[in-house]
Amino acid sequence: MLSKRMLFSVFMASPLMAGSSLSAFAGIGSVGWMQQANVVEGIVTDVNGEPVIGASVVVKGTSNGTITDLDGKFS
């Protein structure tokens, strides 16, 4: 009786153990499906050519954005 119970337990647990090892590698093949990011960079200056610190820069039509650094640069 004990051996049947042990065999049943191993049989029931084997899908769980197999699934856990497969899930560790689930993200490896998905790299090709990721969207490639385009990097936009530049410098924001005022009419005198001075850098604008803390200016908001947003990609039109999206919510992607950043602010300029102390040199007016963004990326």
For the segment 30-47, what is each residue's pLDDT rounded down to a tens digit?
555 566 678 889 999 999
Q: Mean pLDDT across the stretch 21-35? A: 56
pLDDT value for 67: 95
What average pLDDT does the segment 40-68 reach?
A: 94
CB 72 within 8 A of CB 43: yes
Structural domain total, the chain: 1
Is residue 44 within 8 A of residue 57, CB to CB? The reply is: yes
Kindly tell me if the per-residue pLDDT of 55 is higher than 70: yes
In the predicted model, what is the mean pLDDT of residues 63-71? 94
Domain span at residue 56? 2-74
CB-based burial label for 69 (10 Å; 0-12, 13-18, 19+) = middle
Res. 69 pLDDT band, cuts 50 70 90: very high
